[in-house]
Amino acid sequence: MRCAEYCEVVANWQVATNQFEIQLHSPIVARHAQPGQFVQLRVQTGYEPLFGRPFSVFRTFPERGDFSVIYLVRGTFTQLLAQKKPGDSVFVVGPLGNRFLVRQPAQEVQHVLVAGGVGAPPMYLLAEELVQKGVPRQQVVVINGARRHDLLVCQEHFAELGVPLWAVTEDGSLGEKGRVTDILKGLNQRGELQRERCQVYACGPTAMLEAVAKFAQKHNLPCQVSVETMMPCGMGVCLGCAVKVRTPEGHDYRRACVEGPVFDAAEVMWE
Amino acid sequence: MSKVRMEVQLGPLRLQNPVLVASGTFGYGSEYADLVDLNRLGGIMVKGTTLRPRAGNPMPRMVETAAGCLNSIGLQNVGVEAFISEKLPFLRQYRCAVIVNIAGDTYEEFEQLAARLDGVEGVHALELNVSCPNQEKGGIHFGVDPEATREVVSRVRRRTRLPLIVKLSPNVTDITVNARAAVDGGADILSLVNTFVGTAIDAKTRRFKLANITGGLSGPAIKPLALYLVWQVARAVKVPIIGMGGIMNATDAVEFLLAGASAVAVGTANYVNPRISIEVLEGIEQYLREQGEKDVKDIVGTVKRCKPESEF
């Protein structure tokens, strides 16, 4: 079940220097969105930019019929989005795409969630789902990274879940200094990764996903990545969001908006 | 509310209304079926179909430009056999026309595709893609060389009884030459325009934005160009025209009808708003009522010269 309609803005507020969270009223998205899925939003009235933009669903409030996404203001589209006030409307198509597949039996798996920058919101939705479904908090490990402290997203929300949480920034302005893979390596060296029953989930910039996928491959850990790519239609028809994957015959392209955005890291061909 | 007649007859092809969705912008219909009532569409022009499945071009394949987008998808598609066995059964449930866009690298491939689809239940017409700008060989070659256009159309004509639409490329010096060649070859209907060849460069990285360097430009940026070409072709040939190129709303669609198109196809706008085709259809009906028109065909090609402001 998905919608394509104007939805009322419930709230739109700044959560950090350049970060906003917008809450929209859409009972369909609120009820049906799963961790990893996204919505296409459109706020522009003219043709600049022409297409909507995809945003991962961050939080859902099914009883109120609301959901929210987090965005960084960095271009024309997000500047327009930041101007939206409660009572205004935003065109919403979604929820779209697939979801992270929780490795079963979930209670016995160590779930390692790796987030980079604005890749954090869907990881939060996944962490929240895991905790709500009764996975012991100690088994939900979150590594949240960004270049600088002001680009780190959802940190306090992860903290509220009470799960083991690492913040890591490249300039050391918040949490550990380094990259998410440094934390993964540290966990592994200290024997804190339960190699036999571990599942890695990652969302963030492509370079980070590739590094996490290679770490997982090296240590033989199952890994799912949610890719970041432009998505003109989000409906599976324009084929502009294709992701190159390995096939028995060589390679093929899969649509990030339908077969993705979540892929098995082992099948993605990084180049 | 008075009823407006929306049915159109394009040569041998009857459509319940003049609003189609353009090839490559609506998949195989199923992608949109939960949001769009396919029964209300005039027709669906399905994704360009080749003899064998194609993986398409490397990424990046699509880039947004000012009021438009460049694509170089490279005809990624499931191939004609999978289209018939996996995609067509779904489309047969609906009453809109199903138009199969076919693309080949050689005359023989076009002939084989036409022969394969001839008589297949649920296929209402073929659209010959002689204008895809993203294929190394074939594709656009058949569309820019008038002799090759005539040849490919006449060869296909001999292999099918289906209504034959030829999709023209705008990347030519005089489109009326190619339009006449297609008609001479046996085209029942012309559709135009396909995308305009263009490119985009990232000044910061000093690199092309598309892996394929060039792509086809679509979207509102091309509407004035497309509108002019439709008007030119409408005056040059007698066969009906399906007009397309940057239609974003009902007013844009009406302009194409006034310029001489008997039907229109909505393309890139489907990416912006999945429901736009129905909004265009309803908007055309409303326009006709407001204008006191009873039949959509009565406004086709009725555009008049600009009226000087001094004439009151």
Q: Given this model, what pLDDT does residue A228 score?
A: 87
| Residue A2 DSSP symbol | -
Residues of A in contact with B274 (CB under 8 A): 4, 93, 235
Q: Identify whether the C-beta of residue A22 lies closer than 8 Å to the C-beta of residue A68.
A: yes
Q: Note whether B26 contacts A237, CB cutoff 8 Å.
A: yes
Q: What confidence tens digit (pLDDT) does each residue in A129-148 have?
A: 999 999 999 999 999 999 99
The residues near A72 (Cβ < 8 Å, ≥ 6 apart) are A18, A19, A20, A78, A117, A118, A151, A153
Mean pLDDT of B2-19: 95
Give chain B's radius of gyration (CA, Å): 19
Q: Note whether A236 contacts B27, CB cutoff 8 Å.
A: yes
Q: Note whether A237 contacts B58, CB cutoff 8 Å.
A: no
Q: Identify whether the C-beta of residue B70 lies closer than 8 Å to the C-beta of residue B63.
A: yes
Mean pLDDT of A33-52: 96
Q: Given this model, what pLDDT does residue B131 score?
A: 76
Q: Given this model, what pLDDT does residue B139 score?
A: 58
Q: Given this model, what pLDDT does residue B134 score?
A: 59
- pLDDT tops 70 at residue B115: yes
Is the backbone peptide bond immediately before B170 cis, with ω within 30 degrees of 0? no
Q: Note whether B61 contacts A239, CB cutoff 8 Å.
A: yes
- pLDDT tops 70 at residue A245: yes
Residues of A in contact with B62 (CB under 8 A): 230, 232, 238-241
The overall average pLDDT reported for chain B is 95
d(CA A254, CA A267) in angstroms, rounded, equals: 11
The overall average pLDDT reported for chain A is 96
d(CA B151, CA A10) in angstroms, rounded, equals: 60
- Tell which CATH classification among 3.90.550.10, 3.20.20.70, 3.30.420.40, 3.40.50.170 matches the domain B8-299: 3.20.20.70
- pLDDT tops 60 at residue B138: no
- Tell which CATH classification among 3.10.180.10, 1.10.3720.10, 3.40.50.300, 3.40.50.80 matches the domain A106-264: 3.40.50.80
Whether A238 and chain B come into contact, CB under 8 Å, resolves to yes
Q: Identify whether the C-beta of residue A34 lies closer than 8 Å to the C-beta of residue A60.
A: no
Mean pLDDT of A33-57: 96
In chain B, domain spans: 8-299
Residues of A in contact with B24 (CB under 8 A): 237-239
d(CA B306, CA A24) in angstroms, rounded, equals: 46
Residues of B in contact with A50 (CB under 8 A): 64, 67-69, 219-220, 268, 272
Q: Note whether B59 contacts A253, CB cutoff 8 Å.
A: yes
Q: What confidence tens digit (pLDDT) does each residue in A66-125 have?
A: 999 999 998 999 999 999 999 999 999 999 999 999 999 999 999 999 999 999 999 999
Residue type at B288 in one-letter notation: L
Q: Given this model, what pLDDT does residue B133 score?
A: 62
CB burial readout A213-229, b (16+ within 10 A) else e: bebbeeeebebbbbbbb
Q: What confidence tens digit (pLDDT) does each residue in B236-276 have?
A: 999 999 999 999 999 999 999 999 999 999 999 999 999 99
Residues of chain B contacting A, Cβ within 8 Å: 24-27, 31-32, 34-35, 47, 55-56, 58-64, 66-69, 71, 73, 76, 219-221, 248, 268, 270-275
In chain A, domain spans: 3-95, 106-264
- Look at chain B and count its residues: 312
Nearest to B272 by CA among A153, A129, A46, A204: A46
- pLDDT tops 80 at residue A255: yes
Q: Note whether A50 contacts B64, CB cutoff 8 Å.
A: yes
The model's confidence at residue B307, banded by pLDDT at 50, 70 and 90, is confident
Q: Given this model, what pLDDT does residue A16 score?
A: 82
- pLDDT tops 90 at residue A166: yes
**Which tokens is B100 given?**
């199969």
Place of tokens 């082992």: A266
CA distances (Å), origin B271, targets A42, A175, B32, B43, B277: 11, 41, 11, 17, 11
d(CA B141, CA B182) in angstroms, rounded, equals: 14
Neighbours of B247 (CB within 10 A): 29
Q: Identify whether the C-beta of residue B181 lies closer than 8 Å to the C-beta of residue B142.
A: no
Q: What confidence tens digit (pLDDT) does each residue in B164-223 have?
A: 999 999 999 999 999 999 999 999 999 999 999 999 999 999 999 999 999 999 999 999
- Tell which CATH classification among 1.10.10.410, 3.40.50.970, 2.40.30.10, 2.60.410.10 matches the domain A3-95: 2.40.30.10
Q: What confidence tens digit (pLDDT) does each residue in A193-233 have?
A: 988 999 999 999 999 999 999 999 999 999 999 998 889 99
Q: Given this model, what pLDDT does residue B141 score?
A: 73
Higher pLDDT residue, B131 or B128?
B128
The model's confidence at residue B140, banded by pLDDT at 50, 70 and 90, is low
